[in-house]
Amino acid sequence: MDGEITAPRYVYIGTLVLAKAAGVDDLAKPGYLKYSDNTQGVTGAVWVKSAALLPSVKVSSITVSATGGVSSIERGKTLQMSAAVLPANATDKTVTWSVINGTGTATISGSGLLSATTVGTVTVKATANDGSGIVGTKEIMVTSSAVTPVSSITVSAAGGVSSVEKGKTLQMSASVLPADAADKTVTWSVVNGTGAATISNSGLLSATAVGAVTVKATANDGSGVSGSKNISISSPSSSGGSSTPAFSGTSVSDSGGTVNGAGATVFIPAYAVADTIKVRIERVGSSGVSIPTEMRLVSSIFDITKDKSGDFKRAVTITLPFDKEGVDAEQDELVLCWWDGSRWVKLDNISINWAAGTISGTIEHFTRFAVLAPAKAEPESQRPVVTRPPTPEPVSVSLNDISGHWAQAAIRELVAAGAIKGYPDGSFRPDQIITRAEFATVLVKALELPVNNSKAFADTTGHWAGEAISTAYAAGIISGYNNQSFGPDDPITREQMAVMMVKALRLSNVRGSVSFADSDKISPWAKEAVAAAYESQLISGYPDKTFRPGNQASRAEAVAIITPALK
């Protein structure tokens, strides 16, 4: 509105944005209108020569956030939510708050104060009040009222062995309980006894002197819990019986060099080692390793060792040959992996030479290496159709150790459905690790799949879960580590569990991956399935924004991912 202030000593010519007053039309007649202009710091009355109502500006976007930028809240606590509304000149920037309960529950006030009631995930929603239909959302994780500390650590060695030859390496692993411990990382150390050894941050033990040592894994969560295992270091095997042969291998100095052996190649750059070392490359069997359900082995397994302990100062390049006849360059995503004692881990900087049939990657230590490719799926026409069972009738369930547990409702539902049972002592043991055989059995029962005994792995023949494993195989849910091995008594990992569920429910894989803080730790063969399971709200991450794909799943976690299949 253009006008002129009549108060003494003040003259203001320009446009004032005033609230519409009763009786003011688009073209008002000349007259005085009281106003307050905060930008000019004056108030008074304005002589209105003409007036026009400005058009309404609708909201275009809403961004929801929480105080401190957090995305989690403890059960029983409150969290202030806020909504950033654009554009800045929107006529009505007010919003209405609401909550969409997921695996957890919460309520929210008109001012955006969120009150968490049960553990799980909820979605906070802010809806524009201007009729534009614009909304903004944010997922919030409701956690237990107290951080769960580590209660026990079990230390084991690759292949279940308890000895290693002097000059060799042995990959150690730590199984941490409970499954929902807030921090399951450990620090490795060695207590030298009659023997001597060193250990890397990743748990790779290097034996340096004959005798006994104790390998120790200590929890990093401040709980003080640790686990240990005694390892015997023996003299290198000798055909003569009395003399110990020197480590045989190719010498590489601090100037670097290339080592070839058994069809594989190792390139060691300059200054990767301080002193001259000897490197040996051997093809070995699959004893002590396993192949993920969704992958297949397309190369030999190579054991690469050196005569001196410790990691390299600079990354070395490993190049392995693969079976060109067994892979498809257009469809297969090959990965070069190293064995960490419990699973295969992808090397960095992978490159593939399809013409030569080789794959390369970088790493800073030696262990066993192999090339993996996605398992070949059966044609859809050969798979039985998976139908979801009807909702079971309510059954009274009495278990003595699930009261107040975050998975209590899901446990009761799945037990009532007859898909899983408690123990004779009346317990359910929700935080106990669940095996691959147990998970397959519960899944087959939950989906009421027709029995099919057409497949028997070498390690499932005579196994108590053999029938369920065969049925899951026939349904296209599992494929085994390879054609002969399923690993029924191996603990199932979170990423393996996600893959099986996505296949069981015929969910479409999601290209790319979800943004977890440890997304790079998710195995290549599981990335799309984990994304699909997450988007379908079958599985979620942890409050610290990690997914922890290699963590061994608990009975409660298994129940939580299977229960939605009943709906």
- How many domains is the chain built from? 5
Q: Give the pLDDT score at 180.
A: 64
Name which of 302, 308, 306, 339 is nearest 321 in CA terms.
302
Average pLDDT over residues 150-160: 78
315 vs 183, residue with greater confidence: 315
Q: Give the pLDDT score at 24.
A: 43
User: Could you tell me if residue 88 is inside a domain?
Assistant: yes
544 and 431 within one domain = yes
530 and 428 within one domain = yes
Whole-number average pLDDT of the chain: 79
Most confident of 142-151, 353-362, 458-467, 482-491: 353-362
350 and 221 within one domain = no
The pLDDT of residue 420 is above 60 = yes
528 and 400 within one domain = yes
User: Could you tell me if residue 201 is inside a domain?
Assistant: yes
- Do residues 199 and 206 make contact, with C-beta atoms less than 8 angstroms apart? yes
Q: Compute and round to an integer the Cα radius of gyration of the chain.
A: 32
User: Could you tell me if residue 90 is inside a domain?
Assistant: yes
381 vs 135, residue with greater confidence: 135
User: Could you tell me if residue 456 is inside a domain?
Assistant: yes
What stretches of 179-310 adopt beta strand conformation (E)?
186-192, 196-199, 204-209, 211-219, 226-234, 250-252, 257-261, 264-268, 277-284, 295-297, 301-306
Q: Note down the domain range covering 132.
A: 61-143
Contacts of 186 (CB under 8 A, 6+ apart): 153, 174, 176, 217, 218, 219, 220
Q: Give the pLDDT score at 95.
A: 93
Beta bridge mates, 334? none
Last residue of a domain, one of 125, 143, 161: 143
508 and 487 within one domain = yes
Structure-token pair, residue 263: 């069809």
The pLDDT of residue 386 is above 70 = no
- Do residues 75 and 145 make contact, with C-beta atoms less than 8 angstroms apart? yes
User: Tens of pLDDT along 492-540?
Assistant: 888 899 889 888 888 776 655 577 888 888 888 888 888 888 888 888 8
550 vs 512, residue with greater confidence: 550
Q: Which of 22-26, 330-334, 402-406 is least confident?
A: 22-26
Q: Give the pLDDT score at 397.
A: 53
369 and 264 within one domain = yes
Where b means 16+ CB within 10 Å and e means fewer, 214-248 reads bbbbbbebebebbbbbebbbeeeeeeeeeeeeebe
Last residue of a domain, one of 90, 125, 143: 143
Structure-token pair, residue 286: 């699959």
pTM to 2 decimal places? 0.38
User: Could you tell me if residue 331 is inside a domain?
Assistant: yes
Last residue of a domain, one of 114, 143, 172: 143
399 vs 438, residue with greater confidence: 438
What stretches of 236-392 adopt beta strand conformation (E)?
250-252, 257-261, 264-268, 277-284, 295-297, 301-306, 316-321, 335-339, 344-346, 348-353, 358-363, 368-374
Q: Give the pLDDT score at 391.
A: 37
Give the up-direction half-sphere exposure of residue 276: CA atoms within 13 A in the CB hemisphere.
6
User: Could you tell me if residue 484 is inside a domain?
Assistant: yes
pLDDT band at 25 (very low <50, low <70, confident <90, very high): very low
Q: How far apart are CA 304 and CA 122, in angstroms?
A: 48
Q: Give the pLDDT score at 7.
A: 38
Q: Give the pLDDT score at 53.
A: 55
Structure-token pair, residue 199: 């250990």
Average pLDDT over residues 184-211: 87
Average pLDDT over residues 124-137: 91
285 vs 437, residue with greater confidence: 437
Q: Give the pLDDT score at 240.
A: 44
Query: Could you tell me the CATH number of the domain that includes residue 301?
Result: 2.60.220.30
The pLDDT of residue 120 is above 60 = yes
Q: Give the pLDDT score at 99.
A: 92
Average pLDDT over residues 354-361: 90
332 and 287 within one domain = yes
Q: Give the pLDDT score at 13.
A: 46
202 and 308 within one domain = no
User: Tens of pLDDT along 328-346?
Assistant: 877 788 899 988 777 788 8
322 and 256 within one domain = yes
pLDDT band at 91 (very low <50, low <70, confident <90, very high): confident
CA distances from 276 to 160, 250, 522 (A): 32, 10, 36
pLDDT band at 2 (very low <50, low <70, confident <90, very high): very low
Q: Give the pLDDT score at 51.
A: 54
Structure-token pair, residue 338: 């190293």
User: Could you tell me if residue 245 is inside a domain?
Assistant: no
pLDDT band at 148 (very low <50, low <70, confident <90, very high): low
Q: Give the pLDDT score at 441.
A: 92
- Give the angle subtended at the CA of 19 by the CAs of 14 and 20, to the nearest 5°: 105
Q: Give the pLDDT score at 264.
A: 92
Query: Could you tell me the CATH number of the domain that includes residue 168?
Result: 2.60.40.1080
Q: How far apart are CA 196 and CA 210, in angstroms?
A: 7
Check residue 310 and report its DSSP letter: S
Q: Which of 13-27, 83-97, 292-306, 432-446 is least confident?
A: 13-27
Q: Give the pLDDT score at 241.
A: 44
508 and 432 within one domain = yes
258 and 213 within one domain = no
Average pLDDT over residues 43-63: 69
Residue for token digits 């030569």?
A: 356
Q: Give the pLDDT score at 10.
A: 38
Contacts of 233 (CB under 8 A, 6+ apart): 163, 164, 165, 166, 195, 196, 197, 207, 208, 209, 210, 211, 212, 213
Average pLDDT over residues 415-424: 86
Average pLDDT over residues 15-41: 47
529 and 430 within one domain = yes
User: Could you tell me if residue 23 is inside a domain?
Assistant: yes
